[in-house]
Amino acid sequence: MSEFDNQYLCPMCDYVDSICDDELTCGKCGHEPCFVARHINEGTRKFWIEKEQELGNWRFEKRFSTMIKDSIPKDKELIKNFQKSVKGVFKLFGLNKNNLQEIFPQYTRDYKRTTGRRETGWKRKGSESKQKQGAARGALYEGAMNNLMGDHEFFEPVRVPIPYHSSVASKESTYEPDFWFRFEDQDIPVEFKTFGEGSMVKSKFIRGIRQSRRYGNLSHLTHNNPQKYSAIIVCCPEERTFSCAIVDDNANRL
């Protein structure tokens, strides 16, 4: 067994250490339970760090929000601040080209070993190798986004699953968006996805919005989200394009 196969990852402070017992208590901050860690292939990590260093600046792709204009809330101040905040985070990639080793994570959560269940949600299509490549790219860029957000005024990473009571299944369950966008006392869940070259198309953008709607509805139960808004950020690292949107219940008809 590799040394990387028996470690835990603390979701609160990102500390990684060897698993000594079943409690998975963080030896640095005391949080429990931590996640079983999965080491991100170093060759894959190096590939994306070099891409980020060599390629040009990120560009905002406006056409996606134009496509779904009827699903975007009328709150212009909210939309303006969300787009401005997302653009600001992507700008930080260019400003931190010399710090990418610290920004891109070495570990991610091993969902199956942590929970005993297969990961659910937005399933990737294609060969097993492409799915693994996509999962690694997503883990690297989501971790980088977490690190770049830092003490951002409006963004906050979601560190642990959020409990709620499912009236349909009559049991306690959890959900887990990638980030919160907190603006004027509103807590809006954000879904983040990366795509390979040539794959960031309208159909997948809309598919991601539909996935985010679940978080909009659930956050209405657990947080201050009276309008059930949800948000999505998508990007293609190789094409250097990204887009984002906040949507309301009208997106259910997409």
Is 206 domain-assigned?
Answer: yes
Residue 1 has a pLDDT of 43
Domain extent, residue 235, equals 42-106+143-253
pLDDT in tens, 104-138: 999 999 978 877 665 555 555 555 667 788 899 99
Residue 123 has a pLDDT of 53
Residue 61 has a pLDDT of 93
The CA distance from 1 to 161, in Å, is: 29
Is 14 domain-assigned?
Answer: no
pLDDT in tens, 171-218: 899 999 999 999 999 999 999 999 999 998 888 888 888 889 999 999
Is 11 domain-assigned?
Answer: no
Is 50 domain-assigned?
Answer: yes
Is 233 domain-assigned?
Answer: yes
Residue 58, phi then psi, degrees to nearest 5: -75, 145
Is 112 domain-assigned?
Answer: no
Residue type at 63? R
Is 171 domain-assigned?
Answer: yes
Residue 146 has a pLDDT of 94
Please give the tally of structural domains in the chain: 1
Is this prediction's pTM over 0.85? yes
Is 21 domain-assigned?
Answer: no
